[in-house]
Amino acid sequence: MEQYKKEFIEFMIDCNVLKFGDFVTKSGRNTPFFVNTGFYRTGAQLKKLGVYYAKAIEAKFGFDFDVLFGPAYKGIPLSVAAAIAISEDYGKDIKYCANRKEVKDHGDTGILLGSPIEDGDKVVIIEDVTTAGTSIQETLPIVKAQGDVDVLGLVVSVDRMERGQGTKSALEEIRENYGLETTAIVTMQEVVEHLYNKPYKGKVIIDDTLKASIDAYYEQYGVQ
């Protein structure tokens, strides 16, 4: 596993973004782990997060695209942070764009924030995490409505590696249904591999009991 992935897993724990316990996901699944990017709360944290996203984007897509699109609301700071990191670390000036939840009819009108999306633009969508792949159904039509654009793919922070609407993984379904390439900074398999029975800051985060809960979750919701 690449070093930046190990660092990112520990970064999520330090920021209280990756939690273990008893949670319910947006798709209604009871889960022993939860990723909440709303807990990236400081300038230093967001700057670091942008760097990790930039590494994942470079590895999968390179930087031959025009717009980084972050769906409202959590995708907005993600698109900004990653666009800044791409500019600072790679010297590539990518436009950021996000949507509003409601169309604005005065002043800066329309549904978009940041850069407009224009015919011929290549777009990468940036999100926090995908569980069942439902959010892309809302996001893609917004982007496509802006013109003749080429949506290259989707980058998320964590691939939860579970089924979407059918028997395949959510990211695999997105690839098949929408023709999008997908990638993540880390997968849950990598998270478990890095943390299982290994102390971090003097504490074992995934012990045998928690590992059994995670395994049981994947028995139910994992890809068969």
Sign of torsion, CA 178 180 186 191? Answer: positive
Q: Is 186 annotated as a binding residue?
A: no
Q: Is 122 annotated as a binding residue?
A: no
Distance, in Å, from the CA atom of 115 to the CA atom of 136, rounded to the nearest integer, reads 20
Q: Is 128 annotated as a binding residue?
A: yes
Q: Which run of H or of E encompasses 46?
A: helix 43-61
Cite the active site residues: 104, 106
Q: Is 183 annotated as a binding residue?
A: no
Q: What is the DSSP letter of 39?
A: G
Q: Is 134 annotated as a binding residue?
A: yes
Q: Is 73 annotated as a binding residue?
A: yes
Sign of torsion, CA 74 80 83 87? Answer: negative
Q: Is 17 annotated as a binding residue?
A: no
Q: Is 66 annotated as a binding residue?
A: no
Q: Is 166 annotated as a binding residue?
A: no
Which residues fall within 8 angstroms of residue 8, CB to CB, at 6 or more apart? 52, 157, 185, 186
Q: Is 104 annotated as a binding residue?
A: yes
Which residues fall within 8 angstroms of residue 216, CB to CB, at 6 or more apart? none
Q: Is 26 annotated as a binding residue?
A: yes
> With 0-12 CB in 10 A as exposed, 13-18 as middle and 19+ as buried, what is 214?
buried
Look at residues 137, 135, 141, 130 and name the one whose alpha carbon lies nearest to residue 169.
130
Binding residues for 5-phospho-alpha-D-ribose 1-diphosphate: 26, 73-74, 100-101, 104, 106, 127-135
Binding residues for orotate: 131, 160
Binding residues: 26, 73-74, 100-101, 104, 106, 127-135, 160
